[in-house]
A and B are shown apart, each in its own frame.
Chain A
Amino acid sequence: MKRSKKAALVLMAPAATLLLAGCGEQQQEVHVFHNAEECAAFYHPPAECQAEFERAEALHTQVAPRYQNQFECEADFGAGQCETAPERHQSGSFFMPMMMGYMAGQMMNRGNLAGGQAQSTQQSAANNRSAVPTQPLYKSRDDRSTFRTASNQAVASQPGVARVRPSAVQPQRAQLVRRGGFGQQAAVRQQAARQQANRQRSYGS
């Protein structure tokens, strides 16, 4: 026999439709501020504002997006808006945007100042376990009003209360890796082929 004894597929046959985790997910209320002082000015307990700010600051060095150099970072975040990251690569330091604000996931004890201040912030946090971790926020060069997470998810355009989908704002460790360095020739040839009104649907032969 000159043909295969069997030809089975294990992956290409259709899998049952998966329900996306994001569907029907409840939005959650969060608080967005430039800094702890602004948080306190919005009638929140200053100690909690400060504790959440510090929590976000600690996360900042872990999650802020990384760039190979200052130039590439400033292209996204604006002149003077970047700082060196803790890691180094072959030819220097990585750069990352400065933290421009923070998002507090915990519900703060607004209007209960006496109780709030009496409670330790740790206890308060424990009592209000949130699906949204408190985290740093950033602002891009071309849109200075919008607060964005480290993974470029827009969350608010002004300080105060905002609503987010928890799954969209889970902090992730920053990638040091550059991407998009392969595939440019495909785009170039595709364009050349289009100009000649013929198709290029495969990069095989």
Chain B
Amino acid sequence: MKRVKSTPRPGWQAYAESLGFKFHTIDGEPYWDESAYYQFSLRQIEQDLEDVTEELHAMALDLVPDILADEQKLDQLAIPEDYRDALAASWQRGDPHLYGRMDLVYDGSGPAKLLELNYDTPTSLYETGFFQWVWLEDQLMRGELPAGADQFNSLQDKLEQAFANLALPQPFHFTSVRESIEDKGTVDYLLDIATQSGVDGRYIALEDIGSLDGQYYDLQGEPITGLFKLYPWEFLLEEAFAEQVKTSETLWLEPLWKLLLSNKGILPLLWQKHPGHPNLLESHFDTGKALDKGWLRKPLFSREGANIELVTADGQRLSEPGPYQDAPFIRQRLQPLPMFDGNYTLIGSWVVGDSAAGIGIREDNSLITKDSSRFLPHIILD
């Protein structure tokens, strides 16, 4: 694994926009960054990332029945009591899941370590599955990359197969918060892939969803039979229309049971079941006492690095503010992100259905990867 400097394709921004990538630059700061790429060997990809991703995914799914059978664990994960029956039902019915992303610390050697599972509303999907793929093909065509360079990225192929195989109710709706162009971009991409798989997909802004007699309705007044939501379950369950989750016939992607796995509390539970596993970091539910050196604290529910606090091995304290102070916290042994050319590097490893489906790389100037981090493409070359 190495970082290789690269010349950005001239005029790529306009091309990106023509393909619907409207958030390649955010508040004047680059988000998509092709001034460098990461290079992996096939062995690194297959043994250290692909196999590990599928193993960790299986371990996580394996925990679901354990948690459902144990009120104490549900308490520890702060699952609202009012929705525990509905959550258990969504698991017992076998409500399907589409995708997830796990964040891994990996520097090219030694076991990758699991930082967390983003299993409810994972993002950076478009830039991973589509724009990174286009970058590779484009640079191969231009001769800027060695012939034979490949990429660990079957995300779009696997999503297309998943949409074709899930037998989703039709029409199937896709929703996101109206004001977020980034979320709309991600949802548009999924809607595009679903359409190519023959799904009758339709977009509705989250705020436009209607409710009547325990069902959800679209703007035409038709019941919403299936809904992909890029909006966290822990938010939905606190809102005015939450109650209808129990009564509606809506099939949700991701399903309600994903609330268990997108929860940082899964990390201490994984550690309890598999103590010392090479791909896990020691984790515990937080008791509130001061952090020791080499540990970090994060809320059960948070996004984009918000509300994370850490103390490095040499006692340096680092924290990121955010709007997620209201949930319990976990603590996790600090595995510092590796540094390449002065950047801290994090690997997002995707799962579609139950298969590993590719990676996306984020770089930040801090040990805490935030929404200000940049996305860099990668290649496989032996």
Tell me the A residues contacting B by CB distance below 8 Å.
1-14, 89-90, 173, 175-186, 188-190, 192-193, 196, 198-205
Which residues of B (150-174) have their CB < 8 Å from a CB of A?
150-157
**Binary per-residue interface labels of chain B (265-294) against chain A in the complex, 1 for a CB within 8 Å, 0 otherwise:** 000000000000000000000000000000
Question: Counting CB contacts under 8 A, is B210 at the interface?
Answer: yes
* Contact yes or no, B235 A185, CB < 8 A: yes
Q: Is the CB of A199 within 8 A of B27?
A: yes
Residues 189 to 243 of chain B near chain A (Cβ within 8 Å): 189, 191-192, 195-196, 206-214, 217, 221, 230-232, 235-236, 238-241
Contact yes or no, A182 B239, CB < 8 A: yes
How many angstroms between the C-alpha atoms of A202 and B26 in the bound complex? Answer: 12
Residue of A nearest to B243 (CB): A181
* 19 A–B contacts from the bound complex (CB under 8 Å): A2-B150, A2-B358, A7-B156, A8-B196, A9-B192, A11-B188, A90-B213, A177-B210, A177-B221, A182-B240, A185-B238, A186-B231, A186-B235, A203-B177, A203-B235, A204-B122, A205-B121, A205-B262, A205-B303
Contact A14 B133, beta carbon cutoff 8 Å = no
Contact residues in A for B302 (Cβ distance below 8 Å): 205
Q: Does residue B380 face the partner (Cβ distance < 8 Å to A)?
A: yes
Does residue B371 face the partner (Cβ distance < 8 Å to A)? yes
A203 touches B154 (CB 8 A): no
Q: What residues on A are CB-neighbors of B303 within 8 Å? A: 202-205
A11 contacts B192, CB within 8 Å? Answer: yes
Q: Once the chains are docked, how many angstroms separate the CA of A41 from the CA of B76?
A: 73
Residue of A nearest to B149 (CB): A3
- CA A205 to CA B129, docked complex, whole Å: 16
Which B residues touch A7, using CB under 8 A? 129-130, 133-134, 156
- Expressed in whole angstroms, the Cα–Cα distance for A173 and B219 within the complex equals 12
User: Among B56-64, B83-91, B178-186, B334-342, which stretch is in contact with chain A?
Assistant: B178-186
Cβ–Cβ < 8 Å partners of A196 in chain B: 321-323
- Measuring CB to CB, which residues of chain B are less than 8 angstroms from any residue of chain A? 18-20, 23, 26-27, 42, 45, 118, 120-124, 129-130, 133-134, 136, 150-157, 176-180, 182-183, 186, 188-189, 191-192, 195-196, 206-214, 217, 221, 230-232, 235-236, 238-241, 262, 302-304, 306, 321-324, 358, 371-372, 380
What is the bound-complex CA distance between A11 and B26, given in angstroms? 23
Q: A3-B151, A9-B20, A196-B323 are in contact. Are A202 and B180 (CB under 8 A)?
A: yes
Q: Are B195 and A10 in contact (CB under 8 A)?
A: yes
Contact B240 A14 (CB under 8 A): no
Option from A175, A180, A200 in Cβ contact (under 8 Å) with B207: A180
Q: What are the residues of chain A within 8 A of B217 when measuring CB–CB?
A: 177
Residue of B nearest to A178 (CB): B211
| Among all A-B residue pairs, the 3 with the closest Cβ atoms | A204-B123, A177-B210, A181-B241
A7 CA to B138 CA, complexed, in Å: 13
Residues in A with CB closer than 8 Å to B304 are 200, 202, 205
A5 to B133, CA, bound (A): 10
Closest to B214 in A: A90
Given A2-B380, A183-B207, 6 more A-B residue pairs with CB atoms under 8 Å apart are A6-B156, A179-B209, A198-B306, A198-B321, A202-B303, A205-B262
Report the Cα distance A201→B90, complex, angstroms.
30
Contact B136 A3 (CB under 8 A): yes
A4, A12, A186, A205: the one within 8 Å of B123 (CB) = A205
CB distance from A128 to the nearest CB of B (A): 32
Closest to A9 in B: B192
A180 to B358, CA, bound (A): 36
Distance in Å from the Cβ of B38 to the closest Cβ of chain A? 14
| Complex contact A201–B322 (CB within 8 A) | no
Q: Is the CB of B129 within 8 A of A181?
A: no
Check A201–B239 contact: CB distance below 8 A: no
Say how far B71's CB is from chain A's closest CB, in angstroms: 26
Is B207 a contact of A2 with CB atoms below 8 Å?
Answer: no
Q: Which residues of B contact A198 (CB under 8 A)?
A: 306, 321-322
* Contact between B371 and A2, CB atoms less than 8 A apart: no
Question: How close is A196's CB to chain B, nearest CB, in angstroms?
Answer: 4
Bound-complex Cα distance A104 to B154 (A):
61
Assess A89 versus B213: contact at CB under 8 Å? Given A10-B192, A12-B189, A183-B177: yes
